[in-house]
């Protein structure tokens, strides 16, 4: 699956791809309230397709609390549905928001997509 939400601007993107048995949700660019609902819907749709989900945040340049909430809602839903999740760490400035809220204790963060996929495959 490779899909982009049609109404996101060129610097505000979300897509998903399937790697083996894992759906990788990729977020890119500046993400704020204007795209949070679309991202939330997209994540929910992607979660239906796999028991394993990775969020790749490496290309996120800005993320506000509404988008963070959409990601956390997806993560909570994944855990409630007994799905395994992993997060590819965003750039340092963006990751500080996760640290401020101590979310690194709730989510499994990895430096690369390969490490996240390896973790998910090992816990399958």
The CA distance from 63 to 89, in Å, is: 13
pLDDT by residue for the chain (124 residues), tens digit each? 444 433 434 434 788 889 988 989 999 999 999 889 988 988 888 788 788 999 999 999 999 999 999 999 988 998 899 989 999 999 999 999 999 999 888 899 999 999 999 999 998 7
Query: What is the DSSP code string of 4-34?
Result: --TTS-TTEEEEEEEETTEEEEEEEEEE-HH
Looking at residue 93, its pLDDT comes to 94
Quickly count: other Cβ atoms within 10 Å of residue 122's Cβ: 8
The CA distance from 36 to 63, in Å, is: 10
* Domain residue ranges in the chain: 12-113
Contact 44, 71 (CB under 8 A): no
Residue 3 in tokens: 């899909």
Q: Does domain 12-113 have CATH number 3.30.750.24?
A: yes
In angstroms, the Cα distances linking 110 to 54, 72, 118, 121 are 10, 16, 10, 14
């Amino acid at each position: 699956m490779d899909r982009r939400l049609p109404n996101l601007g060129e610097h505000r993107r979300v897509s998903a791809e399937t790697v083996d048995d894992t759906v990788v949700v990729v977020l890119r660019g500046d993400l704020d309230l204007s795209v949070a609902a679309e991202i939330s819907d997209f994540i929910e749709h992607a979660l239906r397709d796999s028991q394993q989900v990775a969020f790749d945040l490496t290309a996120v340049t800005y993320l506000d609390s509404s988008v963070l909430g959409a990601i956390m809602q997806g993560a909570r839903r994944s855990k409630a549905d007994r799905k395994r999740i992993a997060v590819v760490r965003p750039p340092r400035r963006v990751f500080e928001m996760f640290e401020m809220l101590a979310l690194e204790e709730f989510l499994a963060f990895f430096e690369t997509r390969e490490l996240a996929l390896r973790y998910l495959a090992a816990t399958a």
